[in-house]
Amino acid sequence: MKIITTLFIVLILYSCSSNSFDEESSLQLLETAYKEKSSEYLNDFFNSWHDESLFLKNSSTVESKVHIQVTYDFFNQFYSPMKYKIYDKYEYPNYQNAEFWVIQNEITILVLNGSDTTSMYEQICDFDTLVYDTLDNFFPSINPEKQKILYLTLKYNRILEQFFWGKLWDLNIYKKDDSTTDSLRQVIYSKRNFLEDKIKLAKNHWYTDWYYHTFPKISEIIFTKDYSRCVVLFRDSHASSLFVEYHLKGKQWNRFKKIYQLKE
């Protein structure tokens, strides 16, 4: 049995080295790493994800549209894990101790038909917009000193969902407290702990599910018509619907007001 398992892993690793590492093979590698508590196989999984992230980033072309160029520039200045902790009573993941940061792969951009940011604080929809665009192949250039970058594409989001929940996720059983038994909770926490040195996962509202992103995660950026101001709707690992306003001075985006939480 051990020989068969070893042969299976060798075939998976060969698949990885030949750049044909499909979703199913990636999931099988991660599950085998957990089952055998193998740091070697776990390294192979994350290094493959990292290599794929670099390939996608380097092979992608950023469109020349102004709102896309400005969004990339803003995100690269804005993004900083641990910078946007707003609730001292909560324990935040220590992203500085992670080997990898998991970066969002999608973002929504709005450009207003005007330069007044006041209305941005009163509503988050029904704007008079010149642009409403959602990028689903977003690869910002984040260059931390120690960590390596992973992009949370749909492929890897599905892999992590299946790793933690398998068929339970497809059935939406995870939302029902009565089906989340103590033994299941133990398994889910055990899997989280197994990944702990690689990526830091924050608890979702269900407390047996995890956010895979390395926060903060921007859901929307709302620019004024002249791109001199913007309001950012984002979340950290404990709070959603957080708003903050930035003004552009030269090439530097500067925070204009304190972060606050939108009342929904």
The three-class DSSP label of residue 65 is coil
Which residue segment(s) compose the domain that 102 sits in?
A: 66-147+214-261
Backbone angles phi, psi at 234, to 5 degrees: -145, 175
pLDDT of residue 1: 42
Residue 166 lies in a domain: no
**Same domain assignment for residues 73 and 93:** yes
Q: CA 178, 183, 189 angle in degrees (round to 5)?
A: 105
**Same domain assignment for residues 34 and 53:** yes
**Same domain assignment for residues 41 and 127:** no
Residue 174 lies in a domain: no
Convert the pLDDT of each residue in 34-91 to its tens digit: 999 999 999 999 999 999 999 999 998 888 899 999 999 999 999 998 776 665 556 6
- Tally of domains in the chain: 2
Residue that is last in its domain, among 40, 59, 78: 59
Convert the pLDDT of each residue in 211-226 to its tens digit: 899 999 999 999 999 9
**Same domain assignment for residues 74 and 52:** no
Contacts of 129 (CB under 8 A, 6+ apart): 110, 111, 112, 113
pTM value is 0.83
Residue 173 lies in a domain: no
Alpha-carbon gap, residue 143 to 138, rounded angstroms = 15
Alpha-carbon gap, residue 43 to 4, rounded angstroms = 21
Q: Where are the alpha helices (DSSP H) in the chain?
A: 2-17, 23-36, 39-59, 66-78, 154-165, 167-170, 182-194
The three-class DSSP label of residue 142 is coil
**Same domain assignment for residues 22 and 48:** yes
**Same domain assignment for residues 70 and 143:** yes
* Residues pairing with 253 in the sheet: 248
**Same domain assignment for residues 74 and 142:** yes
